[in-house]
Amino acid sequence: MSDSSTNRIKIAPGFWTSLRGIGVEPIDVARQACLPLTVVNESLVTTAHYYAIWQAFSELVGDTAAGIVKLATAYETAQYPPDALATFHARDYRDALNRMARYKQMCPPENLRIREEDERCSIEVEWQYARQPGPPVLVGITLAYLLELGRRGTGRHLMARSVEFIHPMGDVQALEDYFGCRVRTGMDRNRLTLHRDDLNRPFMSYNEELLEILTPALNRTLDERQSQLTMSAKVKWILSRCLTRGQIDLGTAAFELRMSDRTLQRRLMDEGSSFKQLLEETRHEHALAYLANPTLEIKEVAFLVGYEDQNSFYRAFRSWEGETPAKWRASQEHWRSALVTEQT
C-alpha cells in the first residue's frame, strides 16, 4: 500500500467530545499541536498530525498518566465507532478482544497482538503502518481502553495482572490505581497482561442481532482493505511485527501469509522486489524512528530492529546512512536545536 493511503488516520467521532468532557478544549489541543484549528472538524488526518494531537493533549493535561485515566473513563460507549461498537456487544471478553485485534487492522497506527498462555493473556501494542512509534499517551490510552472494554462489557471492575511500558508514563501510582496492578516503565515492550479466566466472562452488553448486522459489513471492509495491499506491503507489515522476535526469513513470512516460499518469492519478483530488500528497508525505517527517540540506547535500537549483535547493526547502519548511529543521532539533535533557535 502506498504511503498516501496508509498515512491517513481516522479520528473517532467521540474523541473531541470526550476531551471537552474532561475540561480540555479541542481548539486548545490544535493550538498546542501547532495545527490549523480546522483539524477539529476533520475525520482523517496524517499520522504526524495524529501523533501531534495526542502529544498536545498529554501536555495540556500536564501528566501522561492523568490524561490516560481521565480520557479512558470519560469516553462514552455510545460514541464508539462501528468497529469498536461490535467489540462492546461481543459474546464475552475473549470474543471482544479478538474482534478488537481484528478490526484494529482497519484503524492504523496501532496493532494488537494477543497471546494466551497458562493463566495469562497478554496484549502487546505494535505499530502497524506508521514509520514512527506513537507518543506514550496513545499507548497508555490503547491499553486502558482494552481493560475498560472488559469492565463495561462484563459489569465488573476487572483488574489486570501487570502492565508494561517502554517509555516513562508520568504518575505511575495513578496508573496502578486504575489498572489495579503493578505498572512498570522502561521495559522492552508495551504490554497489558490480564487474568485469563476473565476472558470467559460473558458480556452484559451482548447483542447477537446487532453483531449479525455489523460483523459481515466490517469483515467486507477489512477484506477490501487487505486486498488493496501489495504483496511487498504485506511482507513489510509482517516484518514490522516480527523484528524483535529474532531471526526472520522468507519461510517465516510465507508461513504468516499462508503460502509457499516459492509463491511468495515469485509474487515479490513480479513487483520488482525481494524479501532481502524489504527486510533491509523495514530495519532501516524502524532504526531511524527509534534513534530519533533519545531515551533509547543504541544497543536497544539494535535489538528492536532485529540485530542480536550490535556490531552487525553498526555495519548495516553505515551502509544505509554512511555514518554511525551515534553520529546520525547527534546530527539530528543539532538540526532540531538549530530549528528551534530560528523559530524563537
The CATH number for 315's domain is 1.10.10.60
* Least-confidence region, from 75-79, 263-267, 294-298: 75-79
Residue 246: which domain range? 230-343
- Where b means 16+ CB within 10 Å and e means fewer, 264-279 reads beebbeeeebebeebb
pLDDT-derived band at 282 (thresholds 50, 70, 90) equals confident
The residue that leads in pLDDT, 332 or 279, is 279
End-of-domain residue from the set 183, 218, 253 = 218
Asked whether residue 59 is domain-assigned, the answer is: no
Q: State what percent of residues in the chain have pLDDT above 90.
A: 44
Q: Where does 142-197 show beta strands of DSSP type E? A: 162-164, 182-184, 191-195
What are the pLDDT digits (tens) for 104-131?
776 667 888 899 999 999 999 987 654 5
Q: Check pLDDT > 90 for residue 102.
A: no
As a 3-state breakdown, the chain gives helix, strand, coil percent values, each rounded to 5, of: 60, 10, 30
Query: Can you tell me the distance from the alpha carbon of 251 to that of 243, in angstroms, rounded to the nearest whole number?
Result: 14
End-of-domain residue from the set 198, 218, 238 = 218
Asked whether residue 57 is domain-assigned, the answer is: no
Crossing angle of helices 64-74/172-179, nearest 10°? 30
Q: Are residues 245 and 201 in the same domain?
A: no
Asked whether residue 259 is domain-assigned, the answer is: yes
Asked whether residue 334 is domain-assigned, the answer is: yes
Query: What's the rounded mean pLDDT across residues 174-195?
Result: 95
Q: Are residues 69 and 211 in the same domain?
A: yes
Q: Are residues 116 and 252 in the same domain?
A: no
Query: What's the rounded mean pLDDT across residues 75-90?
Result: 71
Q: Are residues 206 and 294 in the same domain?
A: no
The residue that leads in pLDDT, 78 or 92, is 92
Q: Are residues 194 and 249 in the same domain?
A: no
- What average pLDDT is seen over the chain? 84
Query: Can you tell me the distance from the alpha carbon of 250 to that of 186, in angstroms, rounded to the nearest whole number?
Result: 32
The residue that leads in pLDDT, 103 or 28, is 28
Q: Are residues 271 and 309 in the same domain?
A: yes
Q: Are residues 94 and 203 in the same domain?
A: yes
Asked whether residue 23 is domain-assigned, the answer is: no
Asked whether residue 13 is domain-assigned, the answer is: no
Q: Check pLDDT > 90 for residue 9.
A: no
Q: What pLDDT is stored for residue 305 in this prediction?
A: 87
Q: What are the CA-CA distances from residue 64 to residues 3, 59, 152, 274 (Å)?
A: 30, 8, 23, 41
Q: What pLDDT is stored for residue 294 in this prediction?
A: 72
CA dihedral 142, 144, 146, 147 (to 10 degrees): 170
**Of 50-54, 173-177, 304-308, highest mean pLDDT:** 173-177
Q: Are residues 214 and 72 in the same domain?
A: yes
Q: What pLDDT is stored for residue 227 in this prediction?
A: 62
Length of the chain: 344
* Least-confidence region, from 77-81, 150-154, 163-167, 238-242: 77-81
Is the overall model pTM greater than 0.85, yes or no?
Answer: no
Looking at the structure of the chain, the number of domains it has is 2
The residue that leads in pLDDT, 76 or 335, is 76
- Give 255's DSSP letter: H
Q: Are residues 247 and 325 in the same domain?
A: yes
The residue that leads in pLDDT, 75 or 267, is 267
Q: Check pLDDT > 80 for residue 153.
A: yes
Asked whether residue 1 is domain-assigned, the answer is: no
Asked whether residue 32 is domain-assigned, the answer is: no
Q: Check pLDDT > 90 for residue 252.
A: no
Q: Are residues 302 and 165 in the same domain?
A: no
The residue that leads in pLDDT, 131 or 248, is 248
End-of-domain residue from the set 159, 183, 218 = 218
pLDDT-derived band at 6 (thresholds 50, 70, 90) equals very low
Helix (H) / strand (E) element for 28: namely helix 26-32
What are the pLDDT digits (tens) for 198-241?
999 999 988 888 788 778 877 776 676 666 678 888 888 788 77
The residue that leads in pLDDT, 1 or 171, is 171
Q: Are residues 147 and 273 in the same domain?
A: no
Q: Are residues 205 and 237 in the same domain?
A: no
